Structure 1
């Protein structure tokens, strides 16, 4: 009798448990998802909000995932941000079902949108570019930088952004930290408002004059008083004009004989009205560019001999006072004007140079050697 009662006591709780399980409703699950849009072309920096529809509509939380976050990221609310050029997929999931959106990301178009700035080209020469810039907001300060494409790429390689490079420059210029009175004064003096006209060469530092037939990158962005960007950095690419064919200009030199150190040198151009440039450089300097020219190895996209002439002129234009190396007509000079080392091979280099046209002739070379007792 006791065993029957004990068995019954064991069975009753199990029956009660079964009865409870039968009364509990089963959780409903989402059977399918659809996503809008299911494909989208975007540009770098653009955002997109995805819309996900559940069937049945249970209003469950959807999880989002990017299959390549280096190209595009997605928030937990389904907002996609394009990061870099390429293709990836955004995945939406709930209850084991999913939907996808294919995202194709293109590079941002190289133009200056009218909503922030208007850039107008005024004049282009083989050595320089002139533009006007108008900010839509006349009260917003903006920064302007320009230089060759190669120089810009070097800046970005060493700095995470152009604004960051500018801020470092203003710190150096002012000797103050970001936010200090001296720093803000430097920012104010090196930025612009409203409409301004620009000689891009004058804001490119040592890069002026520019190479002929070369890509120049203009960068503009709006900023606050500390130089922090209020707009994105807009890039505008321009091309200098091709080099003018050689003009009819040749040179004779008196006072230089092979292997001898000259004292007084006279330059005699064939045309007394056309401008030219002259310099004295070590022969090794000239040989470097001649070899690169023979091997057809451009330097930063510029023919080597043209680059040599360009760098000589750039170096002279950075000096204050401006050296007496830009001439027209006959010119006589003393070799003692130059600092020369003894027992070295040197070259007098002469080439036509016009401020607007740039290099107008191929360079002429006149070699000489300094004696062991040279004291220049």
Structure 2
């Protein structure tokens, strides 16, 4: 079982069709209207143009930024259940206790205490099975590089990102559960008769078997994305900016199903479990500057819907994501709110998502930014809190963010860049 967790950790690299950026993460994911030029290629290319005064200076210098992030989602406590399963080792204990019981029955020395020991171990194994079954684990990470030259009327950018997401789950079969229940029922019968009847020495006990029929499944995608972005002010509309991000994609779909006993890293061959697809897509963004520091934004990511097949005939979907946002900014403060306007199809056994994101950034000093945010997922009714910090000078910038909830999700991201 431990090798299952090791496998998911080595193969899961990122969220397949987005980026884990520290500033957006620390603001709860609110980035449509509050994004900065150095992250505009990923979050709203319209912000490559315009660039209002932030941090006491215009954000119009050419930039290069490298970033990386990771997020683990263990919504149903799979890791805790897996730890308990490994520590208890009830599967081996049940086989040993049945062998001992068979020997006691054979030499006519069986006692009620022997039966209780088998019953207790079988009951604990049944609890272990049920605690592990159909609990998805999702692991994501991201890395990339942005560069560009923003401007008042026009701005240009380029980016490269290596993204992926992998989900896994352990599916305990009804056959395995039925085998354990047969043991429990059989022992209950013996406990009813042991005080009144002699148990035959050649009695055949139920067999839990050496081969589990339960299986392990892993599914996801790794995506390499290369994009060229442009943002421009609309003629005759000095407060409205449009942006386009044209991108080339390489999508490696991952799909593996095997029995639990073979779910080990040495049995996983990447070339056998992936299909490679090449494609293109486009993101569109718009920003409109309102009065008194307010900005409204709209972003459509992955405008062209696609389905990418896996080696097992399943589909990894890519669907357009529509998001709107509103932000208020001045040299000291940024307050931002974003909302997904449609549900986003998730990858790797996770349900569809639709987020409401809120974030606040305070700049008490010109070189220091303090951030906090909250993200609410409407479908599962879950919340996530985030915190972050930014350190900057005229020539460089460093960002760090952490996010999490009550215990089943954790994320971290870091970014470093320079201005020219």
TM-score by length of 1: 0.23
Higher relative contact order (CA 8 A, sep 6+): 2
TM-score by length of 2: 0.21
Higher strand share: 2
